Chain A
Amino acid sequence: MSGTPAAAGALAVHARKRKRPSFWASQVLKYVLLLVLSASFMLPLFWMIASSLKTSGQIIAIPPIWWPNPIRWANYPEAWATDRYALYLFNTVFRYALPVTLLSVFSNVVVAYGFSRLRWPGRETLFSILLATMMIPGQVYMVPLYIIYRRLGWINSYYPLTVPAIFANAYYVFLLRQFFRTIPNELSEAACIDGAGEWSILWRIIIPLVRPAIAVIALTTFTGAWNDYMGPLIYINKTDIYPFSLALGRIGAALSQVGAINKGLYYSYEMAISAIFTIPVILLFYFAQRTFIEGIKLTGIKG
């Protein structure tokens, strides 16, 4: 036993010595490969930004221009003015993303608390039902829900997209439960002895400890609503209440109406609006990268 670490050390030294001649070659190969892959992964984004700053001549140039010069910043305000994008942005944020995020955080925290920190008969049975519902594709509910919301007169409103968040979401409950279970029970017990009820234990003790998990839920719900296209496509067809995603989905029609094709700026405008829609998501991701990645790990690895 005592000889093993030494032997391993000797082996490692040996291995390192043997590798040395080809070491740099493999390093170079690795970084070249990484750079090529990164370039191809960044291609759509780069092309979007580059194209959004091109003049009408640059956009149809052959070979393609990768670095527009001169840069045409005017594409952005001009594209923004081709439709009511400020209104769509407002709709996305204040009618959809924010309400749904608030509701979803609240309901999922409460339900996950019930499934993880409280002990009661039948809990595991109900939780396995919750897990089973995650398997059912959304398409199965799509038509009957549409019929229900139609009867309620909710077509052309954001209710079908926001109200269901009151009822928690199996996936988020599962994710939060994973977090909740990591908190030692002694904390709740101590508070219980001090006379705190379940509500105050949840709000005063648990929630401050699971803030990162709540951030994951909030961010995922927010970006999910921001990006959502199918939901609004089904329920919303009045342009006054369009979210940004729907407006982007039919940007072709809007741009041909203002004659962007004739001006040769069709693609530049299209890319400028796409960039405006993407930048907030990228910023969110950039500032909350750790949170996002933690969330992914937690659902994937322990799930």
Chain B
Amino acid sequence: MAKEGILHLSYQERRRLARGLIFVSPWLLGLLLLGAYPLISSIYYSLHRYDLMRPAVFIGLSNYTELFTTDPTFKQALVNTFCYVGIGVPVSIISAFLAATLLNTKMLGRPVFRAIFYFPAIVPATVSATVWSFLLNPQYGAINATLRAFKLPIVPFLTSPTYAMPSVISIAWVWGCGYTMVLFLATLQDVPRELYEAATVDGAGAWHKYWNVTIPMCTPVILFNLVTGLIYGFQDFTFLRLLTNGGPGNATEVFSLELFKNAFEYLRMGKACAMAWVMFIIVVILTVLLFKSSARVVYYADTN
């Protein structure tokens, strides 16, 4: 648009354009060098076999077809990622919302409790993985040691294929919901008092107000968290890498781990690129679906 119109711009407008471009030039350069170029070369590599040592060999769509046919772990990783994100995001939103609702009531020490709920979210992922793997240790971890003291059977949280995924999901999403909680709490505090007062005058009870005032007012933030949760959930890496690294077996193997291993452990650069594109397309489709399906539900105050 700017290109074809550039000749019609007045002198002053051209000066403005130049000045604007100078200010955004760092980003613009980055967009070309670290955005567009890698993006295009990623498509290129995804059509090649490339191991960094030997020159890349063109193999057409083989990397893609291999993922969906012969690759033994890809399908498992796909299912696991859907579980991790599909269960994790709603779990995190619900826990954050409940915590925020609780903190939004008239209470003592709200900043303290808010800080406590936010806390696990700021602890470095390397630390939380280290601490949780000790905490859930079948021998000496706090939980199993307590169970053993009561002569109860221990729970192999991270070492059994059955428990590993549920454990990972709850730790990552429930204990990591602090960020979302702070956001909800801020939104709840911004709900105009008049809406509640009006509802009270109309004879609405507490539940009624919660369902018909509080939740609708929070729908934009819920959508925001669904979308960011989806996008970042697909990319979660450090915590999973250090806690289970996909194990036991492939029970917690997700996309991001599988991709990293393909790229930097098996040196299958082309295949890793193909995986990244599959992941990107899935994320885009899911995001569009989310936006489309939410259009009727989400309430935006400014448009009314």
Chain A residues within 8 Å of B, Cβ to Cβ: 4, 7-8, 11-12, 15, 30-31, 33-34, 37-38, 41-45, 47-48, 51, 59-64, 107, 110-111, 113-115, 118-123, 125-126, 129-130, 133, 135-148, 150, 164, 166-168, 170, 173, 198, 223, 226-227, 229-230, 233-234, 245, 248-249, 251, 267, 270-271, 274, 277-278, 281-282, 285-286, 289, 293, 296-297, 300-301, 303
Contacts and interface: CB of A to CB of B under 8 A. Distances in A.
B235 interface: yes
Contacts of B187: 301
B27 A173 contact: yes
Nearest to A246: B126
Contacts of A63: 145-146, 148-149
A163 B5 CA distance: 34
B105 interface: yes
Given A34-B113, A138-B235, A248-B127, A147 B287 contact: no
Interface in B101-159: 102, 105, 107, 111, 113, 115-120, 122-128, 130-132, 134-135, 139-140, 142, 145-146, 148-149
A271 B127 CA distance: 9
Contact of B27 (A7, A12, A168, A248): A168
What 7 pairs between A and B have smallest CB-CB spacing?
A167-B30, A114-B23, A120-B20, A122-B2, A63-B149, A144-B38, A227-B124
A101 B206 CA distance: 47
A147 B200 contact: no
B135 A43 contact: yes
B175 interface: yes
A35 to B, nearest CB: 9
A48 B131 contact: yes
Nearest to B35: A133
B259 interface: yes
B122 A41 contact: no
B35 A60 contact: no
A282 B116 CA distance: 11
Given A118-B19, A135-B284, A140-B38, 11 more contacts: A64-B142, A111-B24, A120-B20, A140-B277, A142-B259, A144-B45, A229-B237, A229-B241, A251-B130, A281-B122, A296-B183
B124 to A, nearest CB: 4
Given A137-B235, A198-B23, A227 B201 contact: no
A38 B45 contact: no
B169 interface: no
Contacts of A167: 26-27, 29-31, 33-34
A278 B122 CA distance: 9
Given A34-B102, A139-B256, A293 B186 contact: yes
Most B Cβ at <10 Å: residue of A30, A126, A139: A139
Contacts of A145: 34, 38
Contacts of B126: 227, 229, 245, 248-249, 277
B200 A301 contact: no
Given A44-B128, A110-B26, A167-B29, A281 B38 contact: no
B120 A148 contact: no
Contacts of A297: 182-183, 186
26 contacts: A37-B102, A41-B119, A44-B120, A45-B120, A60-B139, A111-B24, A114-B20, A114-B21, A126-B24, A126-B28, A130-B31, A137-B235, A137-B283, A138-B235, A140-B38, A143-B42, A143-B263, A144-B42, A147-B41, A148-B41, A248-B124, A270-B130, A281-B122, A296-B182, A296-B183, A301-B187
